[in-house]
Amino acid sequence: MARAGLWRDNGLVFPSTTGTPLGARNLVRSYKLRLERAGLPPIRFHDLRHTCATILLRAGKHPKYVQEMFGHANISITLDTYSHVIEGMDGGLGDAMDDALG
């Protein structure tokens, strides 16, 4: 809830109650409290980032866009971390081995 008279609109998506940037400690504290109130297990805040990337890639979004969104220095970081969730990234290797040996 915004505090009357103290609010400064800084155009932030997730501002503090006065409109300023959220402090990391306050954000994590609030996040943990909301998990607890919802009866959810403790989930590291950083795990939300991995979940987001996984959802985007499983939905077929191009890894280059995910790389840029997450600020990875290069595409190899994104692909090394998340290639296991991208459909078709196994390159059909299992099928090729079955064909060769079967």
Length of the chain: 102
d(CA 76, CA 3): 45
Listing DSSP states for 51-79 in one string gives: HHHHHHHHTT--HHHHHHHHT-SSHHHHH
Q: What are the E-state strand segments in the chain? A: none
Tell me the whole-structure pTM to 2 decimals.
0.64
Tens digits of pLDDT across the chain (102 residues):
656 678 999 999 888 889 999 888 988 998 999 999 999 999 998 899 999 999 999 898 999 999 999 999 999 999 999 888 887 776 777 788 888 988
Annotated domain spans of the chain: 1-42, 45-101
